[in-house]
Chain A
């Protein structure tokens, strides 16, 4: 990898690049699926290539190739410079980068059990046991469970002198049980929706999920939802489980604190942000219960690494500090606009995409309450579990979420299971109504494996630490 990167940097310099960086990435993925008792996929995928990003004429150019012979690498670097010069034809002000001391080092995800060393037989045995446990519930028509293991070896080199080697290992797995009746379809997922839960960890993460031990319970919950009452409507107290709190953080705090988005880089696609720079340091985003950080050092998070894809060291940044909007996720280019240094959140989707500001691990920090205490002190409300639908506007203000499970709460007790729950609101009003967050015992790191951004679209794996939390005076209803 080192030789490939050095060749790309040399070719970029020879073509006239003022600055160049090269990422060589070799990614291996193993994916296993069992559906309705049948092994639906045993799939391995290897993806290797390099991307070169340059400044020439004061503008950016990027080119990537999977062809790793010397001539193709030279061509790729020269194309990046040609593209940069084409970018400069519109006569914009030269790009300025925040200063950065070039780093040299390496990083590897800590793992206890290498997931690629666990046999395929053991992995299939687990999935078939999970499936058999779900099959005990006859109303479940579609049973699906999967495992995924990712190993990404990255080498980053820049013309400033950075030389960084990193190996990131992820392990993920999940269950989906879909129950059907003549007039309804209900799904339950575990540990999270979107197919699976994933962590930067080894096989020990899969063991901790206890997929087999939860399979029949999840299937039974899907069946129970078919005959559950519809969620009550009205303005009431909402308690979110950790997975739904994680997605709420992702959509309503993570995305609007990406500084490239604030500055307009995503305006034609993902949109912009209501958190404009004039609000920094003074805007009350949430109640004083709400502290949200972007922390790429947090154990097991999908946004945990040694350095970001510009070579900036991992760190913890406060985005919301006891309710006050206090920071953005930044890159070297965007940080310079605010006269800051980058806080290290540039991430690229493999070798073929340029780095963008992406969430690392955006965490709702633990509070002092507990789920049971929150329920016990709620007169009328709902406890909502596991995302079913999600939507938010292009400035990240107007949201509506649906969840798979709902529990009506009356006078401090869960009184009945309810289905098709939706809740909606406006971001700051919602977070200002947060009056309790559960403590460290219930705080977990969750993974989102389908975060989309950029054109061409990049899919990123991001982490969210969260615990159950409570919100007052929220609009709740049942889907039509």
Chain B
């Protein structure tokens, strides 16, 4: 399908319809395709082309917001700006955060691959065929997807902000199923040619074959080795409940700046410039993204800002804004945990009796202030005895404080993986060995 206009053109056209005051136009142009498979055949196969304009108008201590999907830049801009202005005019005067001025930050790279941007349905089908072939060869059934996405984002404002970036993402997830157990693996990269589909399928096959006929294990406290697929959930939930300045300002964050809450070996950052993690140069306000040390050597060091929360604290935004206005606050979009120096085998070796967990499932906050989460293990939970993976065990429910777990880290792998969390942001995580983890049923 042809592109009617660039996202920058749409943003510029929208600003021509500003009647009074300042305005900001955010345009997201997406071309996403996903090929989904179940039982070694493709059962859902979709493509979506959308262009959305989101605009806010600020004047006289009043703000209005509009949004629409469309293709004609002028008609779209007129429709959205008129709706935003109508809402603004009716709003009572209130404490409206200012629109950001253009910053002078360096325009960093965005993760982009032309191979991903031009990937075809036939290519994705062939990739699925390769995955299914490896399943069939071992008598297994494969379930999962291969997806490609191209996004162009533009932010422009009457205050001079003018940013545009084009990015891509290729992802694949597979669950291999046998007669009495399953295994999981995933890969994500900007460049579809960097997705090692074969290695991913082999990893899931290996986990699946080892995870047959799992036995019941009594719940209780166990030492654990968590694969990155599981660690990602913990980091993502920390981001949701505590890494934003808004959570701190509203006294609902666990973060106590300057205090050591975690093991000295734990350093967590949000780094939108990390080349392994879909780097992106600006946020949804057009503010340059900055790396932020959240926890360094176990000590709480910083939180993430957007323009409204930064104004409240008298600091600069760190470039972590969602589309404004929102009540969620700044968003951890590029969480990174720094690696250690152990191999995975070295993490498992000292464990006398514990569990190896491939991934978690349906993780939810139980007590956000204490970072208590609950969830299930899934697709590959193994008993470790005397430093070796012995046998698969049935999935267990855990209810555990993340901060307490990260205070008891006894080893971190040097190898890391990129995984998408439930919020679909990329997270770069290692394997972790943790002294005690509470399994409740």
Among the listed B41, B70, B173, B362, which residue makes an inter-chain contact with A393, where contact means beta carbons less than 8 Å apart?
Answer: B362
Instruction: Determine whether B38 belongs to the interface, using a CB cutoff of 8 Å to chain A.
Output: yes
- Encode B38-61 as 1/0 by CB contact (under 8 A) with A: 111111111111111000000000
Whether a CB of chain A sits under 8 angstroms from the CB of B399 is yes
Q: Which of B83, B129, B399, B401 contacts A89 (CB 8 A)?
A: B129
Q: How far is the CA of A158 from the CA of B367 in the complex (A)?
A: 49
CB within 8 Å for A124 and B367 given contacts A66-B51, A84-B45: no
Q: A267, A391, A456: which contacts B362 (Cβ < 8 A)?
A: A391
Instruction: Report the minimal beta-carbon distance from B175 to chain A, rounded to whole angstroms.
Output: 5
Decide yes or no: A185 and B124 within 8 Å by CB, A267-B143, A391-B362 being known contacts.
no
CB contact list, A164-184 vs B, under 8 A: 178, 180, 183-184
CB pair A398 B441 closer than 8 Å: yes
B87 touches A394 (CB 8 A): no
Q: How far is the CA of A87 from the CA of B363 in the complex (A)?
A: 33
A3 within 8 A of B: no
Q: Does B150 contact A (CB under 8 A)?
A: no
Q: How far is the CB of B425 from chain A (nearest CB, A)?
A: 13
Inter-chain CA distance A444–B362, complex, in Å, is 28
Is B46 a contact of A63 with CB atoms below 8 Å?
Answer: yes
Closest Cβ–Cβ distance, residue B201 to chain A (whole Å): 13
Pick the contact of B397 from A180, A184, A400, A402 — CB < 8 Å?
Answer: A400
**Complex Cα gap A42–B58 (Å):** 12
Q: Give chain B residues whose Cβ lies under 8 Å from the Cβ of A455.
A: 34, 36, 44, 145, 147
- The answer on a CB contact under 8 Å between A141 and B372 is no
How close is A75's CB to chain B, nearest CB, in angstroms?
A: 5
**B214 sits at the interface (CB 8 A):** no
Number of interface residues of A (CB under 8 A): 81
Task: Determine if B106 is an interface residue (Cβ-Cβ < 8 Å).
Answer: no
> Does A72 count as interface, using CB distance less than 8 angstroms?
yes
Given contacts A62-B44, A92-B41, A398-B376, contact A180 B129 (CB under 8 A): no
Docked complex: A57-100 residues within 8 A CB-CB of B: 59-69, 71-72, 75-76, 79-80, 82-84, 86-87, 89-92
The answer to whether A392 has its CB under 8 Å from any CB of chain B is: yes
Could you tell me if A268 and B143 are in contact, using CB atoms closer than 8 angstroms? yes
Whether A87 lies near B125 (C-beta < 8 A) is yes
Let me know if A90 and B250 touch, CB within 8 A. Answer: no
Stretch at the interface among A33-41, A209-217, A236-244: A33-41
Q: Which residues of B contact A80 (CB under 8 A)?
A: 47
A391 touching B251, Cβ below 8 Å: no
Interface residues of A in 274-318 (CB under 8 A from B): none
Known contacts A83-B46, A354-B46, A389-B374; is A268 also within 8 Å of B38 by CB? yes
CB of A96 to closest CB in B, whole Å: 13
Taking CB as reference atom, which chain B residue is nearest A426?
A: B441
CB distance from A80 to the nearest CB of B (A): 8
Asked, given contacts A67-B4, A394-B361, A479-B372, whether A180 binds B252 with beta carbons under 8 Å apart, the answer is: yes
CB interface residues, A 323-375, toward B, < 8 Å: 352-354
Report if B268 contacts A (CB, 8 A).
no
| Chain A, residue nearest B370 (CB) | A480
CA A25 – CA B84 in complex, angstroms? Answer: 22
Which residue of A has the minimal Cβ distance to B438?
A480
Instruction: Give min CB distance, B72 to chain A, whole Å.
Output: 9
A378 at the interface (CB under 8 A from B): no
Interface centre among B49, B88, B175, B364, by most A CB within 10 Å? B49
A441: interface (CB < 8 Å):
no
Which residue, of A144, A267, A353, has the highest number of chain B Cβ atoms within 10 A? A267
Q: How many residues on chain B are close to A (CB under 8 Å)?
A: 90
Stretch touching chain B among A12-20, A43-51, A110-118, A428-436: A43-51
Give every chain B residue within 8 A of A86 (Cβ-Cβ).
35, 42, 45, 120-122, 124-125
Contact B367 A479 (CB under 8 A): yes
From B90-98, B190-198, B278-286, B330-338, the one touching the partner chain is: B90-98
Q: Name A48's closest neighbour in chain B (CB-CB).
A: B69
Within 8 A of A (CB), among B256-287: none
- B32: chain A residues within 8 A (beta carbon): 456
Instruction: Report the separation of the CA atoms of residues A124 and B327 in the bound assembly, to the nearest whole angstrom.
Output: 17
Say how far B278's CB is from chain A's closest CB, in angstroms: 17
Cβ-defined contact, B83 with A38, below 8 A = no
On chain B, the residues within 8 Å of A457 by CB distance are 424
B41 CB to nearest chain A CB (Å)? 4
Which residues in A have their C-beta under 8 angstroms from that of B342? none
Residues of A contacting B36 in the complex (Cβ-Cβ under 8 angstroms): 268, 455
Contacts of A121 in B (CB 8 A): 90
Shortest A78–chain B CB gap in Å is: 9
A264 and B376 contact, Cβ closer than 8 Å, known pairs A67-B71, A455-B36: no
Residues A120-135 near B (CB distance < 8 A): 120-121, 124, 128
Encode B391-428 as 1/0 by CB contact (under 8 A) with A.
00001010101000000000000000000000010000
User: Taking A65-B1, A90-B128 as contacts, is the C-beta distance between A265 and B38 under 8 angstroms?
Assistant: yes
Closest chain-B Cβ to A144's Cβ sits at a distance in Å of 6
Residue-wise interface mask of A (383-410) relative to B, using a CB-CB cutoff of 8 A (1 in contact, 0 not): 0000011111110001010100000000
5 contacts between A and B (CB under 8 A): A42-B65, A44-B67, A64-B50, A185-B368, A393-B376
> Which 9 pairs show the lowest CB-CB distances between chains A and B?
A92-B41, A86-B121, A42-B87, A268-B143, A43-B65, A45-B67, A87-B42, A267-B143, A67-B71
| Given A64-B50, A84-B45, 9 extra CB contacts under 8 A | A43-B65, A66-B51, A69-B71, A72-B71, A83-B46, A89-B125, A90-B42, A90-B129, A456-B48
